[in-house]
Copies of this chain bind each other. A is one copy, B any other.
Amino acid sequence: MVPHLITALTGPINELEQRIIDSMPATERWFRLEWMEHTPPFYTSVDIRNAGFKLAPVDTNLFPGGWNNLTPEMLPLAVQAAMAAIEKICPEARNLLIIPENHTRNSYYLSNLVQLQRIFNMAGLNVRVGSISAEVKKNTVVELPGGETITLEPVVRTRGRIGLKNFDPCTILLNNDLSAGAPGILEDLHEQYLLPPLHAGWTVRRKSNHFRSYEEVSKRFGKLLGIDPWLINPLFGKCGEVDFSQDVGLECVQTSVDALLAKIRRKYKEYGIHEKPFVVVKADNGTYGMGIMTVHDAKELQELGRKTRNKMAVVKDGQPVHDVIVQEGVLTQERMHDAVAEPVVYMMDRYVVGGFYRIHADRGVDENLNAPGSGFVPLAFDHSNHLPQLGARPGASAPNRFYMYGVIARLAMLAASYELEATNPDAETYD
């Protein structure tokens, strides 16, 4: 199916689309050279916002769920990319262990695991799912609504390696973002590949580190294309030592919001954009759409109600928020039927393998869509639409639009690669 797109196709984005399409071979070569120097994250999903005048990633997930939302048409691309990834990491591998999130009873999430299992099975691996949750003490078979079943087995650690009973994997695929901290059972593994590495988990990761890397990437890519990097880069600031529940550190957030809104206003003026600037205040280690707030005026922060404070004070797994990122808000002008939509692009190794629209009927164009009530619609990606159609009028071609999304998503993936290098605790030992 091809989603019905309604996008406010104003000037600059069409120019950007045209630049990206015209620069395709140069862009692909640029990525190729970057991947000679930098290792892509094992798998990545990127939330993108298309404001019509600006196109930017707003979140980069290194433990993507939602693989079940990809259409069957996209599966061969994912399998081929998985083959390429495995070949580089552990070509002799027979066994792959997937470690899922601990709250494993959500059937959507379990369908995601079934899909990952299918992809790596088809790529030539025996795949089993091993839980590190204390609740999984014995093999547990869960039947899913579609009639499929998944078996969760307790992970065991023996002589510095982890595995399952009679199952010793070469590679361990984390599908658990470690918000609650890196469990000891995963540390100091003996000759096993843990992917993504522990420091990709939210205990270590910070959105502000990611977007600092992304800023660097967008500047370099902007130079290659001859465009203002702001067109693809959301501005941001950050504040530490914040405690929303105790009203601590909010002055920094207010100052940051004020400064950022001023910057955005100048940019809007430069490009003749008649929209109301806004920023999004997010927990710097937040995920799952938790700890997120849209702000149009710094004064709003003085009048936060108790409910909002509490919502902002804690994120997934009850982790308290101390660091906050204040990010330029990027409107979404994409619609599916009447619902606000944002594209989510999925990558395996260095390859774009699919995507979908996250839609939310009850949210505004300036709000976070990753919230209860959201739905998923496969991107027109199926049917080769992420390949550009050369010569099509800018803005008129769905394939060109999706190629552009794939480029922006890969820029965010590259930024994540820089970010993981910079935060690698073992980095010194490699020099």
Alpha-carbon distance A28/B79, docked complex (angstroms): 11
Q: A31 to chain B: which residues have CB within 8 Å?
A: 124
Q: Which of A72-113 contact B (CB under 8 A)?
A: 72-77, 79-81, 83-84, 86-87, 91-94
Q: What is the CB-to-nearest-CB distance from A167 to chain B, in angstroms, rounded to a whole number?
A: 13
Alpha-carbon distance A25/B29, docked complex (angstroms): 33
A125 contacts partner chain B, Cβ-Cβ < 8 Å: yes
1/0 per residue, CB under 8 A from B, across A21-43: the answer is 00011111101110110000000
Alpha-carbon distance A74/B77, docked complex (angstroms): 10
Among B79, B91, B122, point to the contact of A36 (Cβ < 8 A). Answer: B91
Contact: A32 with B79, CB < 8 Å?
A: no
Q: A29 to chain B: which residues have CB within 8 Å?
A: 92-94, 124-125
Q: Which of A394-429 contact B (CB under 8 A)?
A: none
Q: Does more than half of chain A's interface fall in helix, strand or loop, or is it mixed? A: helix
Q: A124 to chain B: which residues have CB within 8 Å?
A: 24-29, 31-32
A388 contacts partner chain B, Cβ-Cβ < 8 Å: yes
A123 contacts partner chain B, Cβ-Cβ < 8 Å: yes
Q: Which of A171-179, A201-209, A249-257, A379-387 contacts B (4 or more CB under 8 A)?
A: A379-387
Q: A384 to chain B: which residues have CB within 8 Å?
A: 72-76
- Count of chain A residues with a beta carbon within 8 Å of a chain B beta carbon: 42
Among B80, B123, B383, point to the contact of A80 (Cβ < 8 A). Answer: B80
Contact: B122 with A383, CB < 8 Å?
A: no
Alpha-carbon distance A72/B387, docked complex (angstroms): 10
Among B32, B74, B123, point to the contact of A86 (Cβ < 8 A). Answer: B32
A192 contacts partner chain B, Cβ-Cβ < 8 Å: no
Contact: A76 with B79, CB < 8 Å?
A: no
User: Nearest chain-B residue to A386 (Cβ)?
Assistant: B76
A245 contacts partner chain B, Cβ-Cβ < 8 Å: no
User: Nearest chain-B residue to A74 (Cβ)?
Assistant: B384
Q: A80 to chain B: which residues have CB within 8 Å?
A: 77, 80-81, 351
11 further contact pairs, Cβ within 8 A, besides A28-B122, A72-B384, A74-B384: A24-B124, A25-B126, A29-B92, A32-B83, A32-B87, A73-B384, A76-B386, A79-B387, A80-B81, A83-B350, A84-B84
* A-B CB contact pairs (8 Å), 9 listed: A28-B122, A29-B94, A29-B124, A31-B124, A33-B91, A36-B91, A76-B386, A79-B387, A84-B84
Q: Which 8 residue pairs across A and B have the least CB separation, nearest first?
A: A28-B124, A29-B124, A75-B384, A72-B384, A76-B384, A25-B124, A32-B91, A25-B126
